[in-house]
Structure 1
Amino acid sequence: MTQELGLDGVIRQRIRGLRLARGWSLDALAARCFLSPSTLSRIETGHRRIALDQLVPIARALGTTLDQLVESVDDEDVVIRPMPEHTRGLTTWLLSRERALHGATVAKMRITPERPAGPEHVCVHPGHEWFTVLSGTARLQLGERTILIEAGAAAEFSTMVPHSIGAHDGPVEILTIFDHDGERAHLHAADDAPPA
């Protein structure tokens, strides 16, 4: 019962929040969903039960879906518990869900000097990549250039330039954002490689 009341309160807050975010008065939203302003006010303040036949036009008027308006506030939608994936010289923790951030993938990577380097280990793919160094020093091979990026600094570059990221003088930890092509090139390249 408490959980139902909690979700009921969240739905009321979502309705009010979406209305205010659009700069609409109660009258403006009421006109769009064919309810009286007083009914809408009582729904938002909790002085009236929310009926399904009211939620559908409210959701439509607010430009959202009924599912989004009534979705659970369960912690599993918020908390990500990344599991490390290991390859030689590289440990990766995915910090975003699949299809998160409009197709971008956020990952933490720990790279050690054992990670294979050289011309045969560079990537080229459409898009841009970004990373920031959390600890250590990263060695960014960008075409013919080698750029050292120390803790606290960040790098952004076109991925149409042959590139690889390695560790310089010890392990390095980075936080990186890949687009779809970058994720496929960097995180799934090991899946496509023949076994060692």
Structure 2
Amino acid sequence: MLRMQQNDGDLDSLVRKRIRALRVAQGWSLEELAGRANLSQSSLSRIENGQRRLALDQLVTLARALDTTLDQLVETASDDVITSPMIDGAHGLMRWPVKGDPGMTVVRQRMTEPPPDNPARMRAHPGREWLVVLSGTATLMLGHRRFRVETNQAAEFPTMLPHAIGAEGGPCEILGIFDRDARRGHLREGRGAAKDCAPDLPNTT
């Protein structure tokens, strides 16, 4: 039998609710999931309803059938649902780390200046970056290419490409997401180049 590590009752209940929620999200009946997991429909029903002990071999099979892993199926919920971003009023930035691999960081920024035209002011570093324009229009420079990103549009690009971001035709507000390597790249290059599109990011390692 599976041995729960902390607060056995709560975790047991969470796992059962998670199995049912994943099944419902797939649009599967008890019969369909039971067939995929090589269980009887009555056994699966008792597992979901708490009338049957959680056996490790059954959980492994259920996790595979639900296209997840055993670790994800039995992981405990995080207590810190609500967090407080750091506000940098002087630079118009709101930023906070997003927990979990690969250590994502989110930056909300208001920009008023266009991106630099000089390629020497663009930056390149390992990693990947995503951005969503919340208001206004942003210009994304990738090497010699220029992209216009309007409100509610998003962009994703590898940061090994020389890049810079700025406003077009007035102020714009963006939400930028950096993976661990991109965040470290911005930290290494510091305040030297493309300040408008490269805010200082918190160290979350």
Per the normalisation by structure 1, the TM-score is: 0.60
Cα distance, 1:145–1:127 mapped onto 2, change above 3 Å: same
Structure 1 match to 2:163: 163
Structure 2 match to 1:97: 99
Of residues 110-119 and 132-141 in structure 1, the stretch that sits farther from structure 2 once superposed is 110-119
CA distance in 2, matches of 1:25, 1:91: 50
Cα distance, 1:28–1:126 mapped onto 2, change above 3 Å: closer
Of residues 159-168 and 147-156 in structure 1, the stretch that sits farther from structure 2 once superposed is 147-156
CA distance in 2, matches of 1:58, 1:169: 59
Cα distance, 1:43–1:4 mapped onto 2, change above 3 Å: same
Deviation at 1:163, TM superposition (A): 1.1
Structure 2 match to 1:71: 75
Cα distance, 1:142–1:159 mapped onto 2, change above 3 Å: same
Secondary structure of the residue aligned to 1:62 is helix
Of residues 134-143 and 11-20 in structure 1, the stretch that sits farther from structure 2 once superposed is 11-20
Cα distance, 1:43–1:88 mapped onto 2, change above 3 Å: same
Q: Is the 8 A contact 1:88 1:115 kept in 2?
A: no
5 Å matches for 1:28-107?
A: 28-30=37-39, 38-48=42-52, 50=53, 54-63=54-63, 64-65=69-70, 68-76=72-80, 79-84=81-86, 86=88, 89=91, 91-94=93-96, 96-99=98-101, 103=102, 105=104, 107=106
Of residues 145-154 and 17-26 in structure 1, the stretch that sits farther from structure 2 once superposed is 17-26
Deviation at 1:174, TM superposition (A): 0.9
Secondary structure of the residue aligned to 1:175 is strand
Secondary structure of the residue aligned to 1:123 is coil
CA distance in 2, matches of 1:167, 1:123: 17
- Percent identical pairs in the alignment equals 40
Deviation at 1:91, TM superposition (A): 1.8
Secondary structure of the residue aligned to 2:185 is helix
Unaligned runs of 5+ in 2: 1-6, 64-68, 194-205
Q: Is the 8 A contact 2:114 2:168 kept in 1?
A: no
> RMSD across aligned C-alpha pairs, in angstroms?
4.3
Structure 1 match to 2:150: 150
Query: Which amino acid is 2:34 matched to?
Result: S
**Higher helix proportion:** 1
Secondary structure of the residue aligned to 2:190 is helix
